[in-house]
Structure 1
Amino acid sequence: MQIETYPDRELMQLQLANLLAGQLAETLRREGKATLAVPGGTTPGPVFDTLSGVDIDWANISVVPTDERWVDEDSDRSNTRLLRDRLLRGRAAAAQLIPLYAPGHDAPEEAVEALEQGLAPHLPISVLLLGMGEDMHTASLFPGGDRLEEALSATTRLILPMRAEGAGEPRVTLTAPVLRAAVRVHVMITGAEKRAAIEKAAGLPPMEAPIRAVLDQAVVHWAE
């Protein structure tokens, strides 16, 4: 695990946005298209604000959330809403959003196969940004999640529904094999508690610390 430490959050957010943009631009030059996977939550918002104004070929970039709550897209709990409000605007409005939510379905199990079919052509992920909770979950791979063992296994499933005590609503999440297959993996965390948690996770099995599933290939970006 490689940890990059920054003197403050603002500098980390700016430098990380520039790093992601550079890696996307490199992928576009080499392959003509790229896929960016990003988390929800409040921490990455400023990164999205900067990234949305970067002058790269957004029309050939697909953006996918790493996970999604099974709520309407106008809900303030929706990761898709966050992406539309903070990332998919300005220059980045030209990017294609690959959804992990399907309106009109009461439960994710009803729509997961169709969502997988929509996602598959955009894999592998070119650039992956993850967050992590103090419980060491990432995406919606929660300790104690009802399908965590399957999601961490060598499954052929691209996404899975997930329910867990700490998750609130039912969710869908990219599985660990999809996350590990990303060409570049970044984890963004802030605060002393999460720094301690990710260092602890490095010595635990993924069933106890799901972030562990990607740590061997990840660059961790941290600021107090």
Structure 2
Amino acid sequence: MFTLNKYQNSQLLIEDLTSHIVNELKQAIVQKGHASIAVSGGKTPIPLFVSLSQQNIEWSRVFITLVDDRWVDDNDDASNEKLVMTHLLQNNAKLANFVGLKNSCDNPFDGAEMTDKMLDKIPMPFDVIVLGMGEDGHTASLFPGAANLAAGLDMKSGRKVVGMTPLTAPLDRITLTLPTILNSKNIYLHLVGESKMQVLEQAEKDHNVNQMPIRAVLQQDKVNVTGFWTAS
């Protein structure tokens, strides 16, 4: 089930999304003794990361990983791991347990098995996954038309991650698979801009997941998906 929350500005969105995430993480810590969250990269979540980093949570009990990453060194500006280190794993959140997706293999296709084992450190199901969405309808690094997209969407593969070579973006990626993404208690879709609303409306009109992989998340009944959108 997909529901969409709309906000007058980005500040109000960030405040509410932060509140949702904090409540879920705190509740998980009370119930299980730990919590887990997977976050996306890019410019959009930076204000969210800054906000989360300042929250009063038992961060030492929180496990954080990425939804996807480019197969670059963690000191590269294109690295989502660097983004998280710079903006999220600061202040109070520097005590959190972080597991990245990149390893020493030459490419994400060779490295997927190692990353899969690395993710055994993350308690699953995730309590929260925060996704973004591209103008082409991709989410995580599940890109339309990519050669390995079918493997990423395969609900029976048993894989936590797969390598991906996008047709519409540079650099090879590693990404959580659809079953890993759906192995979550809460999925939050963070969107900013009128163009993203147009993409979202298009995604809801059809069922072709190869054309717009975000549909595989929006049009499933395994976990509730909540969208957080503002025009600017």
The normalised TM-score by structure 1 is 0.96
1:189 Cα shift? 0.5
Q: Give, as a single letter, the amino acid of the residue that structure 1 aligns with 2:54.
A: G
Aligned to 1:219: 226
SS of 1:137's equivalent in the other structure is coil
1:208 Cα shift? 1.2
Question: Is 1:129 equivalent to 2:130 in the alignment?
Answer: yes
1:214 Cα shift? 1.4
**How many residues align structurally?**
223
SS of 1:111's equivalent in the other structure is helix
- Distance in 2, matches of 1:218 and 1:208, equals 20
SS of 2:106's equivalent in the other structure is coil
Question: Is 1:189 equivalent to 2:191 in the alignment?
Answer: yes
Aligned to 2:114: 114
| 1:171-186 equivalent positions in 2, closer than 5 A | 171-186=173-188
1:64 Cα shift? 0.5
Q: Give, as a single letter, the amino acid of the residue that structure 2 aligns with 1:193.
A: S
Q: Give, as a single letter, the amino acid of the residue that structure 1 aligns with 2:83.
A: L
CA RMSD of aligned residues (A): 1.1
Q: Give, as a single letter, the amino acid of the residue that structure 2 aligns with 1:160.
A: V
Question: Is 1:42 equivalent to 2:49 in the alignment?
Answer: no
Equivalent residues of 2:65, 2:100 under 8 A apart: yes
212-221 or 59-68, which deviates more? 212-221
1:207 Cα shift? 1.3
1:181 Cα shift? 1.5
Q: Which stretches in structure 1 are left out of the alignment for 5+ residues?
A: none
SS of 1:141's equivalent in the other structure is coil
Aligned to 2:58: 57
- Distance in 1, matches of 2:66 and 2:79, equals 10
- Distance in 1, matches of 2:166 and 2:159, equals 19
- Distance in 2, matches of 1:153 and 1:115, equals 18
77-86 or 11-20, which deviates more? 11-20
Equivalent residues of 1:66, 1:139 under 8 A apart: yes
Aligned to 2:88: 87
Q: Give, as a single letter, the amino acid of the residue that structure 1 aligns with 2:170.
A: G
